[in-house]
A and B are shown apart, each in its own frame.
Chain A
Amino acid sequence: LTKRAYQTARLSELELPEHPQHPEWARWATVRHYFGISAFGINAWTARERGQELIGEHDELGPRAGGHEELYFVVSGHARFTVDGDTFDAPAGTFVFVGDPGTKRAAVSRDGGTTVLVVGAKPGEPFEPSPWERAAPAFAYFATEEFDKAIEVLARAHRDHPDDAGVLFNLACAESRSGDGAAALSHLAQAIELDDQFRDLARSDSDFDSIPAEPGFSRVVESAPAS
């Protein structure tokens, strides 16, 4: 909001284009980012088909999460949530509030066209967007194959959150796709050093198809973590 005192948009206008490497992902409407909201986090996910993952299993602990209370609202369609091991149906109009950041939660669609809105923030603290969410616009550039722009967004997120392994991993993906294998390898190594789960992800992520020939790739992704 710079010149206008209000902004409007339809949900469908806020959705990122389909990720070419991950057509199975639900459509992500980057609501907070689009409006420049500073007081709370808010996003929406829409499933194309029945059985599609809407909310990947996660909790709100750890360095990549915000320790947020989260409120989910099924705007349309029909979702099935699994929270703290309980699985339950959530038709349109259902709220699911997960106040405990340590509780695991996930959701899949039971109908195509199911949209789940998520609002989150940490009680008692001013809101700060999560690092992964700050990098949201980069995913749109992956879809349009504008990798230089994706690198710009992710490099900025990396400057703001130098220890965020996810941002480093995605930066490496963008650099690999843009043909800068050396930079990709360097950032991938840093991501794996911070969080070993990215070692397995790198092996299977097609964004790195172009760099196995790069000296050091095998060493980075295949060496076992130090015990």
Chain B
Amino acid sequence: MTASRFETAGLDELEAFPLGENGPVWRPVRRHFDIGAFGVNVYTGANPGDPVISEHSEAMNGHEELYLVTAGHAVFIIDGEEIDAPAGTFIFVDPEISRAAVAKASNTAILVVGGRRGEAFQVSAWEVSLAAFGYLRAGADDQGLEIMKSALERDPEAWPVHYNFACYESLAGRTEEIFGHLCRAIQLNPKAQELAREDSDFAAVRDHPEFVRLTERQEPG
């Protein structure tokens, strides 16, 4: 919101980022309007069987999330339980619980609203990186890199930003740019070391001596 006191957009007018080759399509609503008070996104699956919500929990963000199936028909898998969810179904999920959804009908769309109870909303690091990765996949490295740099400028001591920047550089093929960010992420949160070992974003550098050094387990004692 700059000059205008309000903004409108149709769902189809929002940017659409495919999340991986066979993943859902992400339409970043919060990012489009620069909403500062809550997280909101739409995910779509074009065909029956397509993933609409990738399996995840919100344990790290601590977000409670409300899902609304706005079109089509979805099947959720929450905490191992299958839930049929035609259009008009709300599902509210505690942060720690694993959740995923697939389309049961063509053109299924799910609106997700999230925030952390008792705290002012902050934009999640994943949202920034998903947008950057989306541009990278679409061949727009300049735009993706700009997003990552802005995120780092806003929050230079956030380990997820450094971690995701390392992932971004790895996917962009800029090997030498990876390790500074990964090293800083591990310094800020040692958990980043464990994440990096399993993260497919680092597949291209898994055997690189610097990656091995940064991620090797410390022997006890």
Contacts and interface: CB of A to CB of B under 8 A. Distances in A.
Contact of A124 (B35, B36, B93): B36
Given A95-B11, A123-B120, A126-B119, A6 B93 contact: yes
Contact of A11 (B8, B11, B88): B88
> What 7 pairs between A and B have smallest CB-CB spacing?
A39-B115, A123-B36, A38-B117, A121-B37, A99-B1, A97-B33, A35-B92
Contacts of A120: 37-38
23 contacts: A1-B92, A5-B78, A5-B79, A5-B97, A6-B79, A6-B91, A8-B89, A10-B90, A12-B88, A35-B66, A39-B38, A39-B64, A39-B115, A39-B117, A84-B6, A93-B10, A93-B11, A95-B29, A98-B6, A120-B38, A121-B115, A123-B121, A127-B37
Contacts of B7: 96-97, 99
Given A90-B8, A96-B8, A117-B68, A126 B120 contact: yes
Contacts of B195: none
A73 interface: yes
B130 interface: no
Contact of A94 (B8, B38, B83): B8
A100 to B, nearest CB: 5
B181 interface: no
Nearest to A7: B92
A99 B33 contact: yes
Contact of B33 (A1, A94, A95): A95
Interface string B157-187: 0000000000000000000000000000000
Contact of B113 (A12, A75, A119): A119
A123 B37 contact: yes
A126 B118 contact: yes
B40 interface: yes
A44 to B, nearest CB: 9
A98 B7 CA distance: 7
A97 B70 contact: no
Contacts of A11: 68, 88-90
Contacts, number: 156
Given A31-B90, A117-B68, A120-B37, A125 B120 contact: yes
B64 A38 contact: yes
B207 interface: no
Interface string B105-119: 000000101111111
B155 interface: no
A81 to B, nearest CB: 8
Contacts of A96: 6-8
Nearest to A125: B120
Interface in A89-108: 90-91, 93-100, 102-103, 105
Name, among A11, A73, A95, the residue most crowded by chain B CB atoms within 10 Å (CB to CB).
Answer: A95
Interface string A1-24: 100011111111010000000000
